[in-house]
Amino acid sequence: MLNRRQFLASSGAATGLIAAPPRRPNIIVILTDDQGYADVGFHGCRDIPTPHLDSLAHSGVRFTNGYVSHAFCSPTRAGLMTGRYQQRYGHENNPIYNPRDEVAGLPLEEVTLPQVLSQAGYATGLVGKWHLGAAPPLHPLRRGFREMYGFLGGGHDYFKTQMEGEAREYLIPIQRDGRPEPLTDYLTDALSREAVAFIRRHRADPFFLYLTYNAPHTPQQVTEKYLSRFTGIQDERRRNYAAMLSAVDDGVGQVLATLRELELDSETLVFYLSDNGGPTAVNGSRNDPLRGAKGAPFEGGIHVPFVARWPGRLPKGKVSHDPVISLDIFPTSVAAAGVKPPTGRRLDGVNLLPHLAGKAGAPPHGRLYWRQGGGTAFAIREGRYKLVKPADGAVQVYDLEADIGESRDLAAERPELRDRMLQAWEAWDRELIPPRFESPRPAPKKG
């Protein structure tokens, strides 16, 4: 059966009267959860094969200096959805899972990428983790998504849900378009299945798919199918982590295979990244050669695997060393779709298309900024240099081109550089507002 575009093209050829209208590109954002910087083949990982993620990188653009806008989960997702530093609107913490709390989540006055694309005629779908508010007004179906399969909280059990009573966050029912349903498959496989189904349903439409795997986030649960691939890894946490990441890689392979089958490859812009650095002590991930882990403003918390692929439109196999950030996904997607960005608000992200096509002389960003805890921890990157202030330490300065591991502090040696970068960060900080809500406190330990 011909799809709409093929039908119009064939009809036009037959009659000479109708020409197929140019199709707007599909856009897919694939986001993993708590994946380590080092844990992909294209970054040199040897104990966890990631052939499909590697193929994505080798056929697109790999950003060696790809960043997210926060060192942990929900704030990064808020920034990605809006193209704006999330501290501008107070989304600086993880929201508590509370369906009665209308403040803990992405503020309603913010305009999301799916809202912009949906208004332009895109089919918009979320498959996976939301974590931008659990109250009804904050639901993804009210924030621009027309379809949704996944869960609202910050994580989920991979095998079960609680269908009756008031469930804990990790056992809440999986939702399909706002209606609860039981989980009948391994969750990572279910998300891959639903992503493929969404693509098939909308093969004739321009679509935006936000595929947000919760793997390899804890709990470390996995099927024997994936675990059996890693019997040679002795450390149990690392072995479980490898199996969970392998399930994600298989799912990405299914998505890419579906695009090829439906001849949508050249019509689809795909982004792939992690929401923050790996929490190495928790799930066995690795961020080397970077310093630190999830939650820290050092490179290991914010520097992530980052790929963009659009066959025929973006260079194949290109390696870009310019610093880019997850905020860039919004303006790049809007530009690719030929849609005007929302008016009356400042986008902090940059359209990367002219930079990747060699049509822009300067790097995409002069500076990148980070702030946590209302300013208890922060960082700024300017060219090759980075100033960082951890929550429990003093201001430090590093030359990332010479010292990606942030091991040699130049603050005392280069006071003029330190002071200039600190002043730049303080000027940016004055544009922000305090956090609107606090992260939930961890449950007290038993005993």
Cα–Cα distance between 112 and 143 in angstroms, integer?
7
Q: What is the number of alpha carbons within 13 Å of residue 418 lying toward its C-beta?
A: 14
Residue 434, classified by CB atoms within 10 Å of its CB into exposed (0-12), middle (13-18) or buried (19+), is exposed
**Amino acid of residue 158:** Y
Catalytic residue from among 73, 91, 202, 217: 73
CA distance readout (Å), 409 to 26, 42, 137, 398, 402:
44, 29, 46, 6, 12
Angle at 133 between CA 131 and CA 137, to 5 degrees: 140
Q: Which of 166, 139, 142 is nearest to 152 (CA)?
A: 139
CA distances from 123 to 255, 304, 404 (A): 17, 28, 41
Residue 45: active-site member: no
Enter the DSSP assignment of 294: T
Distances (CA, A) of 74 to 56, 66, 135, 283, 368: 25, 18, 15, 19, 19
**Which of 131, 202, 355, 365 is flagged as catalytic?**
131
Look up residue 209 and give its two tokens: 């798919």
Residue 73 annotated as catalytic: yes
3-class state of residue 130 by DSSP: coil
Residue 180: exposed, middle, or buried by beta-carbon count in 10 A (0-12, 13-18, 19+)? middle
Helices (H), 322-414: 329-337, 353-356
Q: How far is it, in rounded angstroms, from Cα 316 to Cα 121?
A: 29
- Candidates 113, 114, 78; CA nearest to 95 is 78
Residue 171, both tokens: 């056992």
Tokens at residue 101, please? Answer: 């709390």
Closest listed residue to residue 196, CA positions, set 180, 174, 211, 175: 211
Q: CA-to-CA distance for 282 and 218, rounded, in angstroms?
A: 8
Which token pair is 11?
């009809």
Q: Per the structure block, which two tokens stand in for 97?
A: 């899972």
- DSSP-assigned letter for residue 355: H
Helix (H, G, I), strand (E, B) or coil at 211: strand
Please list the active-site residues: 73, 131
